[in-house]
Amino acid sequence: MHNGKKNVLITGTTSGIGEALAKQFATRGYGLVFVSRSKEKLIKQKTAFERKYSVPIYIIEKDLCEENAPAEIYQELKEVGISIHILVNNAGFNECGAFSKTQLEKEIDMIKVHDIATTRLTKLFLPNMMKSKWGHILNLGSIGSYAPFPLNAVYAASKAYILNYSLALRSELKSKNINVTTLTPGATKTEFAEKAGINHTLLFSNFVLSSDKVASKAVKGMLKKKAVITPGIYNKLLVLSMKITPYAILQKISPIFYKDVG
């Protein structure tokens, strides 16, 4: 299986943007590797995708908070002979609120999933892309990547890492024919906001895009080797305003988005 076709590894496929990205790649005939924690959901997803898209699906149940998870994923795929040509670091979640009240362990896990696992997986899967002189890496940032966000301090900082890291890596790998794209979505209708208890906030009450729209823009943009993709005109304007507004002003405005979170 997965031989002769290009293969995509996507983390966090069991819902939301990851699942929508998987659909985009499946429609284009790529072999797929899904990584998430929920084994039951992964098994159901594999059956549904294989039936609908006739593409090979390989599933790996793994918690990306675990330090060894990336190495174990890499080793398992090596043993079954699946090479990865496109790596999508999508898995993530949000622990939102005033830093004095949020749970430290969740925040540390957020850094582990967003930043450490992404960095480790990229380090492991890059050599094969270098060898074949072809590859794409798609990393999930956020509009939070562009500025410090009071009431979402650790999340936004973890996503700022993703943007800066990905842009630098992009420059390093350009001459090797390996593309690095960062997807920086705004509010998107997935399980994310509900899990974080922020679905009632101003940010998630307005201009919320569907995960299918976000994923469609992401995969089209990635295949065109775009550096950064921010789906939706409202989100594009938001990012522009974050780039040009002095932080002294921005820090007064941005907590409004998370009002009521505390």
Ligand X SMILES: NC(=O)c1ccc[n+]([C@@H]2O[C@H](COP(=O)([O-])OP(=O)(O)OC[C@H]3O[C@@H](n4cnc5c(N)ncnc54)[C@H](OP(=O)(O)O)[C@@H]3O)[C@@H](O)[C@H]2O)c1
The set of residues, in sequence order, having a beta carbon less than 8 Å from that of 54 and lying 6+ positions away, is: none
Distances from the Cα of 231 to the Cα of 104, 140, 179, angstroms: 31, 12, 19
Closer residue to ligand X, CB minimum distance, 174 or 260: 260
- We find the least distance from the C-beta atom of residue 19 to ligand X, in angstroms, to be 7
Tell me how far apart the alpha carbons of residues 16 and 139 are, in angstroms, rounded to a whole number. Answer: 15
Q: Which stretch binds ligand X (CB under 6 A): 2-10, 73-81, 191-199, 239-247?
A: 191-199
Find the binder of ligand X among 46, 106, 195, 213 (CB under 6 A): 195
For residue 139, what are the β-bridge partners? 89, 182
Is 221 an interacting residue with respect to ligand X (CB under 6 A)? no
Q: What is d(CA 104, CA 180) in angstroms, rounded to the nearest whole number?
A: 31
Site string for ligand X, 21-60 (x = CB under 6 A): ---------------xxx--x-------------------
Q: Which of 64, 88, 151, 219 binds ligand X (CB under 6 A)?
A: 64
Buried b (16+ CB within 10 A) or exposed e, 6-15: bbbbbbbbbb
Q: Clarify whether 155 is annotated catalytic.
A: yes
* CB distance 227 to 250 below 8 Å: no
To the nearest whole angstrom, how small is the minimum distance from the Cβ of residue 204 to ligand X? 7
Nearest to 86 by CA among 40, 43, 121, 111: 121
| Residue 158: how many other CB atoms lie within 10 Å | 24
Single out the catalytic residue among 23, 62, 112, 159.
Answer: 159
What is the C-alpha radius of gyration for the chain, rounded to an integer number of angstroms?
Answer: 18
> Which amino acid, 184?
T
Q: Give how many residues touch ligand X by CB under 6 A.
A: 29
Question: Which of the 8 DSSP states describes residue 82?
Answer: -
Closest distance of CB 162 from ligand X, Å: 8
Active site residue 159: yes
Q: For residues 88-147, which are near ligand X according to CB under 6 A?
A: 90-93, 113, 140, 142
Among 7, 181, 188, 201, binds ligand X (CB under 6 A): 188
Interacting residue ranges for ligand X, rule: CB under 6 A: 11-18, 36-38, 41, 63-65, 90-93, 113, 140, 142, 185, 187-188, 190-192, 195
Active site residues per annotation: 155, 159
